[in-house]
DNA sequence: CGTCTCAAGTAACGCGAGTTACCTGCAGCA
DNA sequence: TGCTGCAGGTAACTCGCGTTACTTGAGACG
């Protein structure tokens, strides 16, 4: 914080763009010397005295390196590209946060390009060609692709020109490394929590059974039950739309289908929005949470989970961590690590609140 | 879509970096000619024939311009910097979306730099120096600063070196242009809607009365009432924390404070989270929405408003529009329009759902 | 037939840096 | 004295592209 620059001087100078040559002239040395000092060159022989003179000149003139010129000369850009539909469909924003923070730590820049393929199906699903093309024009050293929900995607050819890592989705063609949530472990931990609370009749409000999240979470639920010597009762599993209304309807069905004494005492909702609807169904019937019926969700959508009454116990999707891990993985790849199609599973931690 | 490049060839070539010179050589012309064709130069005299030859060469080699080099040579970068805490505190994400989309349309790139000043108070509130510095090193042509909630911010010196526009906040020093929601009009439209539905005893669940949002929205509410010859009853205004719990408590107070016949028949909640809590308070008392009590919110936080039962009628904060407008304003400034400290107000539209 | 003009294109410089190869002078050593 | 070696630098080339000034050849015109 030892800036001795007078703001006026510095500002005025910057307007016209202070270059290394200006600094060199001011310090009475060659531009090369300045370059050596600024890039902290190991084996450069610059006396302590001139090093100081140069640094002083930098301060005095308010010199600021030109990142573009540096990239051009050094053939390295310090930039990663992030293609994502998250900007378009604001869910899983924490992926961006995690990636941003990690990139910032690594002194790299994230160029974010929007993709609007969230709901696309068919040949063009996945990365958007135009976005990738634009990013490659910026000479990004690597690409990240982040999806709003866990699924398989197709990646365009050009993305293979630089190291690429998928976040919250995986390569349908099985060539690229990816970072995805460990849905199965998450489902297991959720149901284990319910078992631990003494529940044995557990209802499940399922998602569309074809998506990876549903498959994994349900599988995990089965494992947990099996661990307690129980089986998943098909009568207690109802699928619905992934919305509050869907959850409401599914919960109504589960609750009304059975006589009181065979009714489940706990509901595992495969996402928080459905849990939100389930709350309504339960309350409407004069039942209490968690007294009469315990509820556990999945996703940890803060706006819902933290604001429902009672607050919702849920399994969190590790968005931020996945984002950070994506950047770290990409860093390793750009540093020369061989590219494999590994799928890294990230833990989904249980968030205890008040609904169990 | 008439790409005739064979993927293999193009990809291989790109690896080593196809330059303009390569294209020139392939087409049998000078590099200058290629440059002229690619930049669509008005007064360049290039015959149709060679123009085609050059374009063919571009396709054949899979040439991709180097954005950095272009910026260096032309002294213009096509980049805007967006400094924001939204990445850190994912609210108002639609500002980013709006800005992104607009920038994309304008063929400009948005460099997003995180700031974590959301809750900072004091001298360092506002833009983060480091983020701005980093962006200026990238030679962005302008800066945007976006806040998660409407407030005054302080901007560091260096941000004044390039055109800067504030989104969802305003310059506490009164020097920079800004884009903010028209809170007052929003408050007015909300209460007018309630009046129109026949309500005359309207309760208000207020935010911290010191923040601009509260001031504006309440002012608007007063205007609407005045328009109907009514006044705001201080007994019907309760402030609370901007959370569901805060709204719950405030609603309880308003509802229980008065005998049944003097109880308000409608609640204007100054944000949706508080409305969420108010719902609970109302339902707990065996009252229905909107039958017994109408509720109107503010913010249009989709996850809440669209999933509450009944769905919440609310006034939307025009995040996306503000983002787009920010980029447009910045474009005008970088194009040479004089910089003024204008504060542009953006309309907050009413979103009719089912709670009124 | 000589000159002028214009279409069509090219050579060469500069943008702001990184990087390599080279230069200079002084100390040490035989 | 003459040679070597090294600390302390510098000149010059390069990155990929925009841009200005200049060249060349062919047709028009008097």
Distance, CA of A122 to CA of B243 (rounded, Å): 42
Task: Select from A66, A90, A277 the Cβ nearest to the Cβ of B139.
Answer: A66
One fold for both A79-182+320-349 and A183-316?
Answer: yes
Surface of B (219-238) touching A: CB under 8 A = none
| Neighbour tally for A89: CB within 10 Å | 18
- What would the pLDDT profile of A235-279 be if each residue is shown by its tens digit? 999 999 999 999 999 999 999 999 999 999 999 999 999 999 999
CB atoms within 10 A of CB A145: 30
Residue B319 has pLDDT above 60, yes or no: yes
Q: B16 falls in which pLDDT band (50, 70, 90)?
A: low
Residues 6+ apart with CB under 8 A from A155: A126, A127, A145, A164, A166, A171, A173, A175, A176
The C-alpha of A176 sits at a distance from chain B's nearest C-alpha, in angstroms, of: 17
Q: Which residues from chain A sit within 8 angstroms of residue B276, using beta carbons?
A: 307
The predicted structure's pLDDT at residue A117: 64
- Do the chains contact at A137 and B64, CB–CB below 8 Å? yes
B315 pLDDT higher than 50: yes
The model's confidence at residue A44, banded by pLDDT at 50, 70 and 90, is confident
Q: Mean pLDDT throughout B40-62?
A: 93
| CATH superfamily assigned to domain A79-182+320-349 | Response regulator (3.40.50.2300)
The answer to whether A41 faces chain B, any CB pair under 8 Å, is: no
pLDDT at A307: 85
Of the options 3.40.50.10860, 1.20.1090.10, 3.30.2310.20, 1.10.260.40, the CATH number for the domain spanning B7-65: 1.10.260.40
Whole-number Å distance, CA B43 to C1' D30? 30
Per-residue CB contacts under 7 A with strand C, chain B residues 209-238:
none
CA of A58 to C1' of C22 (A): 27
Contacts 24+ apart (CB under 8 A), B89-92: B89/B118, B89/B148, B90/A90, B90/A93, B90/A94, B90/A97, B91/B148, B91/B149, B92/B146, B92/B147, B92/B148, B92/B149, B92/B168, B92/B317, B92/B319
Average pLDDT over residues B304-318: 94
Q: Is the pLDDT of residue B9 over 70?
A: no
Percentage of chain A lying above the pLDDT 70 cut: 92
Q: Residue B116: its pLDDT value, please?
A: 72
Mean pLDDT to the nearest integer, A208-220? 97
Interface test with A, best of B307, B319, B339 (most A CBs within 10 A): B307
Instruction: State which nucleotides on strand C lie below 7 Å from a protein beta carbon.
Output: 7-12, 14-21
Backbone angles phi, psi at B152, to 5 degrees: -90, 145
pLDDT tens, position by position, A49-86? 999 999 999 999 999 999 999 999 999 998 999 999 88
Q: Quickly name the fold that domain A183-316 has.
A: Rossmann fold (3.40.50)
The answer to whether B21 CB sits below 7 Å from nucleic acid chain C is no
pLDDT for position A33: 96
Query: Does B283 touch chain A if contact means CB atoms closer than 8 Å?
Result: yes
Who has greater pLDDT, B271 or A3?
B271
**Whether the predicted pLDDT of A327 surpasses 70:** yes
Range B133-161 average pLDDT: 93
Asked if the Cβ of residue A97 lies within 7 A of any atom of strand C, the reply is no
pLDDT for A317: 97
From A73, which residue of chain B is nearest by alpha-carbon distance? B69
In this model, does residue B299 exceed pLDDT 80?
yes
**What stretch of H or E contains A328?**
helix A319-334
Report whether pLDDT(B86) > 90.
no
Between positions 145 and 174 of A, the ones with CB within 8 A of B are: 157-158, 160-161
Q: What is the pLDDT of residue A8?
A: 40
Q: Which of A113-122, A309-318, B323-332 has the lowest mean pLDDT?
A: A113-122
Is pLDDT at A356 greater than 50 in this prediction? Answer: yes
* Chain B contact for A258 (CB, 8 A cutoff): no
Average pLDDT over residues A289-294: 96
In this structure, the strands spanning B266-269 and B202-206 are: parallel
Residue B88: per-residue pLDDT = 74
- Give the residue on A whose Cα is nearest the Cα of B307: A244
Listed by start position, the domains of chain B span: 7-65, 79-182+320-349, 183-316
Q: Indicate the range of A46-50, A316-320, B9-13, B116-120 predicted with least confidence.
A: B9-13
Instruction: Give tens-digit pLDDT for B168-211.
Output: 999 999 999 999 999 999 999 999 999 999 999 999 999 999 99
């Amino acid at each position: 914080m030892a800036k001795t620059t007078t703001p006026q001087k510095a500002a005025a100078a910057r307007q016209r763009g202070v270059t290394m040559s200006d600094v060199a002239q001011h310090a009475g040395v060659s531009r090369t010397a300045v370059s050596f000092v600024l890039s902290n060159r190991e084996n450069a022989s610059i006396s302590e005295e001139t090093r100081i003179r140069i640094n002083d000149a930098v301060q005095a003139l308010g010199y600021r390196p030109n990142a573009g010129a540096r990239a051009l000369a050094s053939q390295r850009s310090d930039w990663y590209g992030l293609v994502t539909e998250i900007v378009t469909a604001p869910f899983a924003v924490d992926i961006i946060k995690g990636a941003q923070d990690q990139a910032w730590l690594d002194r790299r820049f994230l160029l974010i390009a929007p993709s609007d393929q969230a709901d696309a199906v068919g040949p063009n699903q996945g990365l958007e060609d135009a976005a990738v093309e634009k990013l490659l024009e910026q000479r990004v050293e690597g690409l990240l692709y982040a999806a709003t929900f866990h699924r398989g995607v197709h990646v365009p050819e050009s993305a293979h020109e630089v190291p690429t890592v998928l976040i919250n989705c995986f390569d349908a063609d099985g060539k690229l490394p990816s970072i995805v949530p460990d849905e199965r472990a998450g489902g297991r931990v959720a149901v284990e929590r319910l078992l631990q609370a003494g529940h044995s009749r557990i209802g499940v409000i399922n998602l569309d059974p074809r998506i990876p999240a549903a498959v994994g979470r349900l599988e995990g639920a089965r494992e947990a039950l099996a661990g307690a010597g129980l089986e998943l009762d098909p009568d207690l599993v109802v699928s619905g739309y992934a919305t509050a209304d869907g959850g409401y309807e599914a919960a109504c069905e589960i609750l009304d289908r059975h006589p009181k004494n065979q009714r489940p005492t706990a509901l595992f909702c495969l996402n928080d929005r459905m849990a939100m609807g389930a709350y309504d169904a339960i309350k409407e019937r004069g039942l209490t949470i968690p007294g009469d019926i315990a509820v556990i969700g999945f996703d940890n959508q803060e706006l819902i989970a933290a604001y429902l009454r009672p607050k919702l116990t849920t399994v969190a999707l590790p968005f931020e961590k996945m984002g950070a891990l994506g950047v770290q993985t990409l860093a390793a790849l750009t540093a020369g690590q061989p590219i494999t199609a590994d799928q890294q599973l990230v833990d989904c931690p249980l968030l205890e609140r008040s609904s169990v």
